[in-house]
Homo-oligomer: A and B are copies of this chain.
Amino acid sequence: MRNKGKATSFDIAYLAGVSQPTVSRALRGSPTVNEQTRQRILQIAHELNYKVDKNASNLRNQQSGTLALLFFEDPTLDDSLINPFFLSMLGSLTRACAVQGYDLLISFQQLSSNWHVEYEDSKKADGLILLGYGDYLEYVSRLELLVEQGTHFVRWGVVLPGQPGVSIGCDNLQGGRDMTRHLLEQGRRNIAFIGHASAHYPEFLERYKGYSQTLEGAGCSVRAELQIDAFTTERSGYDAVTELIERGIEFDALFCASDLIAIGAMRALADRGLRVPQDVAVAGFDDIPIASFTNPSLTTVQQDTKAAATLLVESLLALIREEPVQSHTIPARLAIRQSTMSS
């Protein structure tokens, strides 16, 4: 059924009785080709099941029609576990690329590795989408390098002034404010913040700032002992809340910097016999799919991955076209569920 080698434009040219460049023109829809000739060529191409060799056309055009998604995982994480939020993002990104006619190459990166250039320089991708990172302060120097090298890239993450490159992130500050206000409205007064609040984790820091500002605005003091470090795993959330309890600090609500932390937090509470939401209200951030299925279901902050993905891809394509591109913040929205509702 299939010939030895696959059909090339020369085969078609031969069968159509025209030159190979004419085949190329006809296939690419050049208006200069005679309509009859084009039809004949199209017909033959179809019969031969011909497909343009992308390696050849990319080589010639000096581009790839592909975007690379570089996925940075914290090496401390369990090998088999991927942050579910990133997984949602991946689904949205794939669709957004397809809409634009681009392929998406995906790659899991170790933070330590020398990832910055590979893809674009080797012409496997026209640009990079960066998702996730460990420590922002280390990461940002890599971004500077990328900018310096003229690599086309966009990243998902907090938007900060003076930041190298283009970032698309959600409004973490607003999300932090809204959630804190919600907890106050539920009558909670001793709200702990579970998550790192340092420049190393700027998304968390923004969420923390939203929390602090809202507390202050409501006349509540921001107490340092109510903030416990945690990074975004269940285990870390569990440990942080256990520590909070063991220190004997009183609290009636936990604002967790991520859903994964919140899930660990809920386990820790359950293990100590504390009820959610009666004894302690628990809120998360991200709205990962699991959040609707925890017991009780988890109040959280929704990030619109579909909008984010569209914006990421469109920004990257604009960058590739050498158009000016701005960083962007998309709104965050509360998803209120049972875990924070005082009945």
Q: How far is the CB of A125 from chain B (nearest CB, A)?
A: 9
- Of all chain B residues, the one with the shortest Cβ separation from A263 is B293
**Residue A75 is within 8 A (CB to CB) of chain B in the complex:** no
| CB-contacts of A320-338 with B (<8 A) | none
Are A95 and B66 touching (Cβ within 8 A)? Answer: no
Which stretch (A83-91, A153-161, A180-188, A239-247) binds chain B? A83-91
Copies in the complex: 2
Q: How far is the CB of A83 from chain B (nearest CB, A)?
A: 10
- Of all chain B residues, the one with the shortest Cβ separation from A84 is B289
Q: 1/0 contact trace for A67-110 toward B, CB 8 Å? A: 00001000000011010100100111011001000011111100
Q: How far is the CB of A23 from chain B (nearest CB, A)?
A: 16
Q: 1/0 contact trace for A290-331 toward B, CB 8 Å? A: 100111100000000010000000000000000000000000
Set of chain B residues within 8 Å of A56, measured between Cβ atoms: 55, 59, 123
Q: How far is the CB of A62 from chain B (nearest CB, A)?
A: 8
Q: 1/0 contact trace for A38-51 toward B, CB 8 Å? A: 00000000000111
- Of all chain B residues, the one with the shortest Cβ separation from A52 is B122
The count of residues in chain A whose C-beta lies closer than 8 Å to any C-beta of chain B is: 50
**Residue A54 is within 8 A (CB to CB) of chain B in the complex:** yes
Set of chain B residues within 8 Å of A94, measured between Cβ atoms: 71, 106-108
Set of chain B residues within 8 Å of A106, measured between Cβ atoms: 94, 104-106
**Residue A124 is within 8 A (CB to CB) of chain B in the complex:** yes
Set of chain B residues within 8 Å of A293, measured between Cβ atoms: 263, 290, 293-295
When chains A and B are docked, how far (Å) is the Cα of A295 from the Cα of B58? Answer: 52
When chains A and B are docked, how far (Å) is the Cα of A107 from the Cα of B106? Answer: 11
| 5 closest cross-chain pairs (CB), A and B | A295-B295, A51-B121, A55-B59, A51-B122, A55-B58
Can you report 26 residue pairs joining A to B where beta carbons are below 8 Å apart?
A: A1-B149, A1-B150, A2-B149, A2-B150, A6-B121, A50-B121, A51-B118, A51-B121, A51-B123, A53-B122, A53-B123, A54-B124, A55-B55, A55-B64, A59-B59, A66-B105, A80-B306, A84-B289, A87-B90, A103-B124, A289-B289, A290-B290, A293-B293, A293-B294, A295-B295, A295-B296
Apart from the given pairs A50-B121, A80-B306, 13 other A-B contacts in the complex at a CB distance below 8 Å: A49-B121, A51-B117, A54-B124, A55-B59, A56-B123, A59-B59, A71-B94, A80-B91, A87-B90, A94-B108, A104-B106, A290-B290, A295-B295
Interface of A with B (CB < 8 Å)? 1-2, 6, 49-56, 58-59, 64, 66, 71, 79-80, 82, 84, 87, 90-92, 94-95, 98, 103-108, 117-118, 121-124, 148-150, 263, 289-290, 293-296, 306
